[in-house]
């Protein structure tokens, strides 16, 4: 019984990890998020797209009105979701 529950827990953890998207995201989809309009992002759009298409998520360092923030981009079937986190 312990082995079965450990196996189920392991499968659950692996499934919850981010995976690369089935269809690669485009620059247009990235620009629709508005991160390059409202934030001063240090990374280029090409490097962000490469990371999100490879890993399924990316965390960026950026500035918003002289405040440092983290931007988490997560690739989902519906598109790219954005989460802003203050440093």
- Name the CA dihedral angle for 3, 5, 7, 10, rounded to a multiple of 10 degrees: -140
- pTM (2 d.p.): 0.74
- Average pLDDT, rounded, for the chain: 85
Q: Would 3 be classed as within a structural domain?
A: no
pLDDT over 90 (residue 14): no
- Helical ranges in 1-87 per DSSP H: 2-16, 27-32, 35-38, 45-55
Q: What angle do CA 77, 68, 65 make, to 5 degrees?
A: 95
Q: Would 55 be classed as within a structural domain?
A: yes
- Residue 33: give the domain boundaries: 18-86
Q: Would 6 be classed as within a structural domain?
A: no
Q: Would 67 be classed as within a structural domain?
A: yes
Q: Would 1 be classed as within a structural domain?
A: no
| DSSP designation for 62 | E
Q: Would 54 be classed as within a structural domain?
A: yes
Q: Would 41 be classed as within a structural domain?
A: yes
pLDDT of residue 1: 65
The total domain count for the chain is 1
């Amino acid at each position: 019984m312990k082995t079965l529950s450990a196996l189920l827990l392991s499968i659950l953890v692996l499934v919850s990890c981010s995976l690369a998207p089935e269809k690669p995201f485009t620059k247009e989809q990235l620009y629709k998020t508005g991160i390059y309009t409202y934030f001063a992002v240090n990374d280029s759009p090409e490097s962000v797209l490469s990371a999100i298409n490879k890993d399924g998520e990316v965390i960026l360092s950026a500035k918003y009105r002289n405040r440092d923030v983290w931007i988490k981009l997560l690739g989902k079937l519906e598109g790219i979701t954005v989460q802003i986190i203050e440093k």
